[in-house]
Copies of this chain bind each other. A is one copy, B any other.
Amino acid sequence: MTKSEQKNTHTLILMPSGRRGDIEEGTTILEAARHLSVEIESICGGRQTCNKCLVKIEEGQFDKHAINSSSSHVTTVTEKEQKVLIENQRPDLRMSCAAEVFGDILVTIPEESRAQKQIIRKSARELSIDIAPAIRLTYVEIEEAELGEHRGDWGRLQDALEAQWGLKNLSIDLLALRNLQARIREGKWKVTATIWNDQEVIDVKPGFQEGIYGLAVDIGSTTVASFLTDLRTGANLATEVVMNPQVSYGEDLMSRISYAMTHPDGLEKMHKAIIDTLNKLASKASREAGIDKRDITEIVLVGNTTMTHVVLGISPIELGGTPFALANRDAMDFKARELGLRLHPGANCHILPSQAGHVGADNVSVLIAEQPYKQDKTILTIDVGTNAEIVLSSKDWMYSASSPTGPAFEGGQISSGMRAAPGAIERVRIDPQTKEPRFRVIGEERWSEEWQTGPDTEAELRPKHLAAGICGSGIIEVIAELYLAEVLTADGRFNHQVVGSRLQWSEDKKRGAYVLATADQSSSGKPIVVTQDDVRNIQLAKAALYAGAKLLIMRAGVNKVDQIILAGAFGSYIDPKHAMVLGLILDCELDDVIAVGNAAGDGARLALLNREKRAEAQRIATNVRYIETAVDKDFQDEFVNAMSLPHSRDDFPHLADILPQTTDPIPPQRIRRFQRTGNK
């Protein structure tokens, strides 16, 4: 080998990772970084077009007045590059695809040039994600058509994508093929192809183009939440939450399943209602973010099994009875237009997998967001809705169950219950001495004791909202506080020994009730009262939730949990202490009870931003061991045992200091009686 053939190597250090290596002279920094497995953003594939790969050369910087100087460690800035840097107002940077290494250098990759960006997704509990979505934009230069060469434009594009991006065996959406020739010529044989899953070209735009977006949607029984996401940066551009219009066909899942059973067009109506809502959400979010909704190239849907069935146009009736057979458990991909979704015409719709008839994609989504299975702890993850999904996990195993809590925790089956809306009582404290309550309603910062409501009160001193009812967190708190104040006994009955104006009795003195808000505190002008039935319904709901968790503990063979993750809106607003006083959750250090908000929505966003998360979801959905509560004898026993407040002091060592000292377990026969009559 002659000397001229020997290539010198130079040391390249890349910050902030600190990764270093020896690089052949003449290699571009972009290429060198790839050799060192450091990803620098590049859409154009090194063609000095996209201007995404700008880096700062900290040491070994080229002295721009000394062209060809022996001191230069990188090639000089060309006029074209200079122009780009000035246009981008970053004359201090270099294009890493243009600058070639000719000496040892230290390079810093600024945040915005790092391809695998970390995104901080939530203030309550930080989540980060590598951005590797199923949709990618690839800038590609195509060989011009020539007489005597017959590959066709699609063939030429395929060849270019293989040569320039290593993409093979691609197909093309018919709608993209229809525009292909005009777009290629408009772009003068330079185009940006939108590619789904390294499999299918779904769009071709002329020249170099940016901007791809995705929509993550959590379809809840009651609300639908959407997150419009920038698939390049991972940024959440718009969050929209609307009521699920299916509510008009039934409040809870069972009544919607009934509606589908009893109305020939029931499924179609509910399906159409949710599709319309998804279209409206997409429009609204796009307007808010200032993007074209036809640039939304993928939508990820999660929801409980009834919701995912109905959104796909599949009847949910099999979910209404044993053996609760799903039409499909696995994740699915299909064209969003097949559902009538008006996004990008070639947009993909991905639905996360379900676990079982009663544990849907929303729970899988919670799990891939929180990843309890990757932590070295025994973790109980609870997502409370009309059904509660409960997952007990360690690094080595995962058990899940669904508990039929009913709608009590959402304010349903509660005499003054209401949804979390302005005027709903959400916080309650009861003085253990006087038994007098104070409370706070949504939309008014002051507690009720500070309200001025008399007829002569000036308008501005009045509360913004009078009390309209009690929402989920409020009902938990009032019952826990009534118990802590010993207005309720451990068996859930009103205490005859309590004296006070707030306590009311039926004529036969058998059924008590507690006036939480007086007539003048109430928007209806009537007192807001907690009845014996309300207490019973909460007892039933919390016993179901607790029994489900207890069943998993038994099946997993553990005796305590290290952490409790509360997912969903309910979990965000209830006070862990009150939840534990009620025996709603297992005993745990209160600080280890963590509310993570809409983790189902977070999981959907993660699946949108990272393909690997979809594979992870599929693994979880099939690996988790689902325990069927509906037919489990142990569940029934635990359910009965879990009716009192709390059912056993021994189970809650962390509450030892605050619980009343008297306990009075409920005789099983009485429980069975109100099981039959209470849960109407």
Contacts and interface: CB of A to CB of B under 8 A. Distances in A.
A573 interface: no
Interface stretch (A18-26, A148-156, A445-453): A148-156
12 contacts: A145-B323, A147-B630, A148-B626, A149-B323, A150-B326, A153-B318, A154-B328, A155-B330, A172-B328, A174-B332, A178-B313, A181-B315
B154 A323 contact: no
Given A150-B355, A153-B325, 19 more contacts: A145-B323, A146-B323, A147-B324, A148-B323, A149-B323, A150-B326, A150-B356, A151-B329, A152-B328, A153-B328, A154-B327, A154-B329, A174-B334, A177-B332, A178-B313, A178-B314, A178-B327, A180-B327, A180-B328
Contact of A174 (B178, B318, B325, B338): B338
A631 interface: yes
A626 B149 CA distance: 9
A404 interface: no
Interface of A: 145-155, 172, 174, 177-178, 180-182, 312-315, 317-318, 322-330, 332, 334, 338, 354-357, 626, 628, 630-631
Nearest to A316: B181
Contacts of A152: 325-330, 354
Contacts of A174: 312-313, 332, 334, 338
B324 A153 contact: no
Nearest to A150: B356
Contacts of A322: 147
Nearest to A184: B325
Contacts of A630: 147
Chain A interface helix/strand/loop/mixed: loop
Q: Which 9 A-B pairs have the closest CB atoms?
A: A152-B326, A152-B329, A145-B325, A147-B323, A150-B356, A154-B328, A152-B328, A145-B323, A181-B318
A356 to B, nearest CB: 4
Contact of A177 (B177, B312, B628): B312
Contacts of A318: 145, 153, 181
A338 B338 CA distance: 9
Q: How many copies of this chain does one complex carry?
A: 2
A172 B318 CA distance: 19
A180 B153 CA distance: 39
A329 B625 CA distance: 50
A535 to B, nearest CB: 33
Contacts of A177: 312, 314, 327-328, 332
A338 to B, nearest CB: 6
A153 B261 CA distance: 19
A149 B147 CA distance: 61
A178 B312 contact: yes
A178 B317 CA distance: 12
Contact of A181 (B149, B178, B325): B325
Which of the listed residues A153, A328, A356 has the most CB atoms from chain B within 10 Å of its own CB? Answer: A328
A114 to B, nearest CB: 36
A375 B510 CA distance: 101
Contacts of A327: 152-154, 177-178, 180-181
Contacts of A313: 174, 178
A142 to B, nearest CB: 11
Contacts of A332: 174, 177
A155 B329 contact: yes
Contacts of A182: 315
A540 to B, nearest CB: 23
Contacts of A154: 327-330
A188 to B, nearest CB: 14
A312 B317 CA distance: 39
A196 to B, nearest CB: 15
A32 to B, nearest CB: 38
Given A181-B318, A630-B147, A153 B323 contact: no
A150 B358 CA distance: 10
A628 B148 contact: yes
A147 B631 contact: yes
Which of the listed residues A147, A154, A172, A626 has the most CB atoms from chain B within 10 Å of its own CB? Answer: A147
Contacts of A315: 178, 181-182
Nearest to A338: B174
Nearest to A155: B329
Contacts of A325: 145, 152-153, 181
A326 B151 CA distance: 8
A554 B678 CA distance: 96
A399 to B, nearest CB: 13
Contacts of A357: 150
A180 B329 CA distance: 13
Contacts of A147: 322-324, 628, 630-631
Nearest to A317: B181
Nearest to A323: B147
A216 to B, nearest CB: 20
Contacts of A334: 174
Nearest to A355: B150
Contacts of A326: 150, 152-153
Contacts of A151: 329
Contacts of A148: 323, 626, 628
